[in-house]
Structure 1
Amino acid sequence: MSSQPPPRGYIDPNFPNPGGPDDASIIIYGYTPSIVVGVLGCVLFFLAGILHGWQLFKYRAWYFSTVMVGIIFEIVGYIFRSLSSQLDPYRVTFFVIQYFFIVVAPVFFAAAIYTILSLLINATGRHYAPIPPKLILWIFISCDVVATVVQILGAALIGVAESNRKDPTTANNILLAGLAFQAFTFLVFIGLFVAFVWSARGVMFKVVRKSFYTSFSIAVVLMYLRVCFRLAETAQGLYGDLNTHEVYFGCLEFAPVVVAVWLLAVWHPGRCVPRARAVIEDI
């Protein structure tokens, strides 16, 4: 008779654990991933990639290339999520790979968002910005890189801990620290964006259409919503409601990022934001 307690966590009664060398004792996701979400992720990001790629070359908006990298990462992540769903949801490598690509992808989208703010500042007038546009890029991209590295480390350690049936609390706290830092820095960025809009409110729509500002603002809010979801999910731990129900992942991770990417495709900055600084007479 084994003295080892039964593993805590989700085990799919309809999907027996293959018990392979790379299989955890539980499904780390907290549920068996849906093939529908996996396929939708691949298809929607692929179509968005076609639209972004076409405009990237048409408008020679090379500064927006990071979006294409992010889209490729999303597609790879959802491919492995689909593999988890159909082949083996217990496999740690499938979980870690999909987590890595789905978590890292928004970093490239965020870099594009920081670039857009820099473009808006240059097009409208640098005197409207709280800090120089180049400094915005350096500060926030650097912060995102640090936050993402910490998150990946935490996620990898969670996978190792679960596969070895050890307590994942420390690994989860590392992941939480990375997300908290990312949420804080993105909130600071939103504050800078609001400060710029307030300062340039009298002239900004003479340079860039209101519809672009609206779509861009929605995309920014959606990306921040996604960060807040990840933060709340990690704060609850592996066995919290947010981590054990895929509907939250679908509504607060998958959907916000998809909508944000499509908004940036329909209102592409290569078409909507002039590169050269406009000469505007303040009245």
Structure 2
Amino acid sequence: MGYSGPIRTNPPTGEAAIWLFGYVPSLAMGIVGVITMLLVAGPHAFYLFTKRGVRSVHLLFAFAAAIEALGFGARLYSNTWEFDGMGFLVGMSLIQLATVLLTAGLYKSVQRNAKYFPVPVGMQLSPMRPRSMLSLFIILDVIFVLFQIGGQYLASSAQAAEFTGTEPMFSVGTSTLIFLSGNVLQAISIIVFAAFVLVIKKRVNRVLSSADPATDYPLSQALLTQILISVGLFLIRLIVRIAQGAQGIYGYAATHEWVFGVFEYLPIFLILVLWAVKPLHSFLFPLGHRHGEGAHTRIHPGDSVAPSSSGNIADKA
């Protein structure tokens, strides 16, 4: 399905012949997006400055929320300047790039979970080394999100070129295929990550069956369940984006803002709220674990403890 909205055959420099979003972003959606994302960034910023050992995760979540807010700010700009190409590119790109930080926070949570298990148990929980897994999935996300941004912008530009008689870089069909492939590949990557988490859950069950989870280990099962819930919400977003690509860049799903609000904005917001209400430290630190990088110290009932040279509590010698 092609574009069917207002057309300007001779747009000014820097502007497009059509509405690149497929609609004029609403003022209400933009305001709601900016306010709610800034609000949910607050708790993550608080944990960033007050909770040692989990700062990297909440830094990622806080920045993801802040960048999402900036993206919605750009959509507010497009509400007034609906034909402006730069407003479209900035708004769409920021909201997309914020998801890379969000998923990186989920990957990092798995790594932090493994770090608070005794050596070498933590390293053996994952099908691959936790740091390698973190790097691999982040790199894949960056590549696939760039495909999505590029494909969406190229498809919109190609559609506009049909009304101005200019030569686009790629046809609408090819550009839409780039957009669609980015979403499909990211969905596959996220599903593989979810499979890794399920494997870790199974291995954790084996470990806990021969240990005292109240004193020896973090609340790993609950943490991994929360990660899987977050992955499920993120997959909902990707499935709808895949449907948009299948319909065409100007099909029903892409040209109705309620679809964006319910299936793109809301899942991301719910993930950020979930981790704000139940932050990472609540899974790792209620069991006597020492805060800090590389710490595996635990306090067992009956142990005598003494302050270490750094002022932290050390295990009994």
When normalised by structure 2's length, the TM-score is: 0.77
In structure 1, list runs of 5 or more residues that go unmatched.
1-6
| Alpha-carbon offset, residue 278 of structure 1 | 6.8
Match of 1:50 in 2: 42
The answer on 1:189 being equivalent to 2:193 is: yes
**Alignment RMSD (CA, Å):** 2.7
Code of the aligned partner of 1:135: S
For 1:200 and 1:121, the matched residues in 2 are separated by: 10
Aligned residue runs from structure 1 range 95-134, under 5 A: 95-124=88-117, 125-126=121-122, 127-134=124-131
| Alpha-carbon offset, residue 271 of structure 1 | 3.9
Match of 1:247 in 2: 258
Aligned pair in 2 of structure 1 residues 18, 84: CA closer, same or farther (>3 Å)? farther
Deviations 1:125-170, CA, capped at 9 Å, x for gaps: 3222222211210111111111122222223322432332254221
Code of the aligned partner of 1:193: V
When normalised by structure 1's length, the TM-score is: 0.86
SS at match of 1:164: helix
Match of 2:60 in 1: 66
Confirm or deny: 8 A CA contact 2:201 2:221 kept in the other structure.
Answer: no
State percent identity of aligned pairs. Answer: 25
Q: Which moved more, 1:218-227 or 1:120-129?
A: 120-129
SS at match of 2:205: coil
Code of the aligned partner of 2:128: I
Aligned pair in 2 of structure 1 residues 83, 10: CA closer, same or farther (>3 Å)? farther
Q: Which moved more, 1:272-281 or 1:142-151?
A: 272-281
Match of 1:82 in 2: 76
Deviations 1:243-275, CA, capped at 9 Å, x for gaps: 122111111100000000111111111343246
Match of 1:144 in 2: 141
Confirm or deny: 8 A CA contact 1:24 1:162 kept in the other structure.
Answer: no
Number of residue pairs matched? 272
Code of the aligned partner of 1:88: W
Code of the aligned partner of 1:174: I
Q: Which has the larger radius of gyration?
A: 2
For 2:10 and 2:273, the matched residues in 1 are separated by: 39
| Alpha-carbon offset, residue 38 of structure 1 | 0.9
Match of 1:3 in 2: none
Confirm or deny: 8 A CA contact 1:151 1:178 kept in the other structure.
Answer: yes
Aligned pair in 2 of structure 1 residues 54, 239: CA closer, same or farther (>3 Å)? same
Confirm or deny: 8 A CA contact 1:115 1:137 kept in the other structure.
Answer: yes
Code of the aligned partner of 1:93: M
Choose between structure 1 and 2: higher helix proportion: 1
Aligned pair in 2 of structure 1 residues 273, 18: CA closer, same or farther (>3 Å)? farther
Aligned pair in 2 of structure 1 residues 123, 164: CA closer, same or farther (>3 Å)? same
| Alpha-carbon offset, residue 229 of structure 1 | 1.8
Confirm or deny: 8 A CA contact 2:16 2:85 kept in the other structure.
Answer: yes
Aligned pair in 2 of structure 1 residues 54, 244: CA closer, same or farther (>3 Å)? same
For 2:277 and 2:299, the matched residues in 1 are separated by: 27
In structure 2, list runs of 5 or more residues that go unmatched.
163-167, 286-290, 301-317
Code of the aligned partner of 1:128: L
